[in-house]
Amino acid sequence: MATLVRWEPFREVAAFQNEMSRFMNGLLEGNGQTTQSWVPTLDAWETDDEIVYAFDLPGIPEDQISVELDDGALTVTAERDRSDTQKSDDFYRFERRFGTFTRSVGVPQGTTEGDISASYENGVLEVHVKKPEQPKPRKIEIGGKQPKTIEGTAQEA
């Protein structure tokens, strides 16, 4: 028996973009850099009215996060500082990423700054993008002629 699954191209594009970001980030690791580049995880979903992007940004103060809209792309930039507290007798293992990141995602055509809102709570940045109104179909008369008005006079017979 065949199962029908609704194809959601936006979800597939978001998943592909996430995987490519992680792949490109992985190419820069392990070469002795003092600061490693990082890309936070991103969830994206769609409702009837909007598209929501949720970025995991734990440990980053809200004043170090920037959200910008430019030429059909939403760009989130932030910086996580590395704490340099070290003791001479202890061994530390640093696995958390730090440094500056920039991540851009596409928004629907016709989106303006007024269509975007953002909130930051418990280390998660949620950006809500309202979907622009789609043009409604119009009926077009064939020939483009206006209806004719018939005028006459009444006469007694």
Which CATH number do you get for residue 121? 2.60.40.790
* pLDDT value at residue 116: 93
> 128 is in which domain, residue-wise?
9-83+90-133
Among residues 98, 126, 129, 93, the alpha carbon closest in space to that of 111 is found at 129
pTM exceeds 0.85:
no
Compute the distance between CA of residue 127 and CA of residue 119 in angstroms, rounded to an integer: 7
Q: Is 32 domain-assigned?
A: yes
pLDDT tens-place string over residues 41-73: 899 999 999 999 999 998 888 999 999 998 888
Q: How many domains does the chain have?
A: 1
Compute the distance between CA of residue 54 and CA of residue 36 in angstroms, rounded to an integer: 22
SS3 sequence of 19-31 = HHHHHHHHHCCCC
Residue 119 pLDDT level (bands cut at 50, 70, 90): very high
